[in-house]
Amino acid sequence: MRSINLLRIALEAEMLHLRAYAKRQGLRVLWGVVAAIFAVSVLVIVDMLIWQIAHLYVTAIAATLILLAINVILTGLFISLAMRNKPSSEETEAAIVRRDALSAARGTLVFTAALPVGRTLWALRRRNRRRR
- The CA distance from 117 to 32, in Å, is 55
Instruction: Output the pLDDT for position 120.
Output: 78
DSSP readout, the chain? -HHHHHHHHHHHHHHHHHHHHHHHHHHHHHHHHHHHHHHHHHHHHHHHHHHHHHHHHS-HHHHHHHHHHHHHHHHHHHHHHHHT-PPPHHHHHHHHHHHHHHHHHHHHHHHHHHHHHHHHHHHHHHHHHHH-
Q: Tens digits of per-residue pLDDT, 70-106?
A: 999 999 999 998 888 777 888 888 888 888 877 776 6
CB-CB neighbours of 97 under 10 Å: 10
Secondary structure of 62-74 as H, E, C letters: HHHHHHHHHHHHH
Residue 2 above 80 pLDDT? no
- Which of the four pLDDT bands, split at 50, 70 and 90, describes residue 112? low
Q: pTM higher than 0.75, yes or no?
A: no
> Between these two residues, 85 and 67, which has the higher pLDDT value?
67
* Dihedral (CA of 52, 58, 59, 64) sign: negative
The domain limits of the chain are 1-85, 89-132
pLDDT above 70: percentage of residues in the chain: 86
